[in-house]
């Protein structure tokens, strides 16, 4: 296959470290967004916490 590098990897493929860095950045931004939403809409956040608690109470191992 002519489109591959001699090392066996595709040239435009991202490395595992880059993928992990992008994923960490995404998760960090997502957590910030959730925190902001919880501050802006406290009633919605409280209802979500209650639903999560009910889910955990009824969950069977």
Read off the pLDDT of each residue in 3-8 and give the average, rounded to a whole number: 56
Domain boundaries, the chain: 16-58
Please report which residue ranges of the chain form alpha helices under DSSP H.
16-40, 42-58
Q: Is the pTM of this model over 0.75?
A: no
Q: Give the pLDDT band of residue 59 (cuts 50, 70, 90).
A: confident
Give the pLDDT confidence score for residue 3 in this predicted structure. Answer: 54
Residue 2 has a pLDDT of 53
d(CA 55, CA 44): 16
The CB density around residue 55, as the number of other CB atoms within 10 Å, is: 9
pLDDT for 17 equals: 93
Measured in whole angstroms, the distance separating CA 60 from the mean position of its chain's CA atoms is 25
7-42 per-position pLDDT tens digit: 555 657 889 999 999 999 999 999 999 899 888 988
């Amino acid at each position: 296959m002519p489109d591959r590098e001699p090392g066996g990897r595709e040239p435009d493929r991202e490395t595992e470290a880059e993928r992990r860095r992008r994923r960490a950045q995404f998760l960090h931004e997502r957590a910030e967004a959730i925190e902001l939403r919880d501050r802006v809409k406290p009633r919605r956040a409280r209802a979500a916490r209650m639903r999560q608690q009910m889910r955990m109470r009824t969950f069977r191992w």
